[in-house]
Amino acid sequence: MNRGLMALLVGVLFLASASLVSAEEYPGPLVSMDWVQERLDIIKDPTQTEIRLVEVSKSKSYQKEHIPGAVNVKWSSEVFLPYTNRMVLDYAAMKAVMKKLGVTPDTHIVIYGDSLTMATRFYWTLKFWNVEKISVMDGTKAAWKKEGRPLTTEVPEVEPREYPLKYPPNGKIYAVKEFDVMRGLATGKVIFVDTRPKAYYDGKKFSVSKWVRSGHIPGAIQWSAPEEVSKDGKFLPVDQLKKMAEEKGITGDKEIIVYCNTGVRSSTTWFILSELLGYENVKNYDGSLREWANEFYLPMEPDNFNIYKDFPKTPLQELKEATDANAEKVAALEKEVQDLKQQLAETKKIAEAAKAEGKGVCGPTSVALLAALPLAGYALRRRFMKKN
C-alpha cells in the first residue's frame, strides 16, 4: 500500500475516533460544579465553540459577578417572548439568542443561573427548539460562590454566529390548553403535577398579577419545586427524587403534565422527570395557571371563587344591578295599584247596594261601606308615601 493512501486512512481513522470520543464525552443533562471548574481554561476562551457556559440572570446580577467565560442570557427578556405573559420564545427570538451565544450545533451549552428554576427554564426552551447538546450545572451561582469558586466581572467578547435552528419546535414536551390539558381532564389518562407551594395549591394564596382564581387543576398532585427537590442550590440525589415521585404516584408509565404559575417552576420538575429520571411522556404546560385560572369556565379546586361576587364590578354591571332593583320596585308598586283597584271596586259595589236598599247611612250595607273606606284610605296613603 503506498504511503499516501496509508496517510489518508490514518487521517480518516483519527477523525472518526476523535468524533467518537467527542460524542462519548457528552456528560448528560446534569453536570457538577467540579466538572465546570475543571474546564474553565476552555470556557474562558471566547473564540472557542466547544463549551459555552451560560448564566441566566438579570443583567445587574451578571454584571456584579459571574463564572469566568459565562455569557449572560437576560432574565426575562431573553427567556420569554416579549409582549407576552412569560410565554416561550418564538422562532425569531430564539434565533437571536442563539446568535448572541455564538454557538454551533456541536457546541456543548452548559447552563446555570441565580436559581435552578431559571436554568431549567432556559434548558427546556432550548429543548423545545430542538437544541440537543445541553446540560444544567448542578448548583446555583450562590452555591458556586459559597464553595469559594472563582468569579469575575469580565465580560467575554463572543463573536455572534448564525445558528441553524430547526423548525418546527418539539411539541412532545409542550402542553397546550385545548389539546393536552382539557383532553387530559376529560379522559382521566393524564397525571397533572402542580409544582407550586402548598398554600397556592390549597387556594389560600394567589397573585392577582398572574391570575384571579386560586386553587389547582382538578386532580393535580402537589410537588413543589425547587423547595422539595433541592437543597442548598443543588438537586437532591436522583434515587431520592425517584422515590419521592413514585411515592406521590408519579411514574414513568403514564402521561404527565406539569404546571405552576408561569411554566418556570414546572420546568424544574419537567427536567427531573424527563431528563434525570428518564420518563418519556412529560410535558410542561407553558400557559399554566396564568392562562387556566383566567378562563372562568375552566374547573378549579377548591371551587371557592365567585367571579361575579369577588371581582370588581364594571360600570355596566353596576347599571344592570340598579336597573334590576328599580324593576323590582316598579313591580311591587304595580301590585299595590292592583290591590287598590280591587278594594275600590268592592267599595263601589257596597255603595251601590246601600243606595238600592234606601236605608240611609244606618243600614247594614252602609255600615259595611264605612268599614271599607279606611282600608281604601290606608292603601292610598301607602301609595303616596312610596312615590315620595
**Angstrom distances, CA of residue 355 to CA of 346, 361, 371, 373:** 14, 9, 16, 16
The domain spans of the chain are 26-169, 172-310, 315-387
The pLDDT of residue 241 is 98
What average pLDDT does the segment 205-217 reach?
77
| Gyration radius of the chain's alpha carbons | 37
51 has pLDDT over 90: yes
**Could you tell me where the beta strands, DSSP code E, fall in the chain?**
30-31, 51-57, 71-74, 108-113, 134-137, 174-175, 190-194, 221-222, 230-231, 234-235, 255-259, 282-285
User: What pTM was computed for the model?
Assistant: 0.75
CA angle 93–99–102, rounded 5-degree value: 150
377 has pLDDT over 60: no
Burial class of residue 117, CB neighbours in 10 A (0-12, 13-18, 19+):
buried
What average pLDDT does the segment 60-67 reach?
98
The cell for 157 is 467578547
- Per-residue pLDDT tens for 151-169? 999 999 999 999 999 999 9
Q: Which amino acid is at 45?
A: D
Q: Which of 175, 260, 282, 369 is catalytic?
A: 260
Band of residue 378 on the pLDDT scale cut at 50, 70, 90: low
The pLDDT of residue 315 is 80
Q: Which amino acid is at 21?
A: V
Residue 111 φ then ψ, to 5°: -115, 135
Considering the chain, what is the average pLDDT of its residues?
86
15 has pLDDT over 50: no
Q: Which CATH superfamily, name and number, covers 172-310? A: Rhodanese-like domain (3.40.250.10)
Q: Which CATH superfamily, name and number, covers 26-169? A: Rhodanese-like domain (3.40.250.10)
Catalytic residue list contains 260: yes
The pLDDT of residue 307 is 52
Give dist(CA 209, CA 362) in Å, integer.
81
Band of residue 351 on the pLDDT scale cut at 50, 70, 90: confident
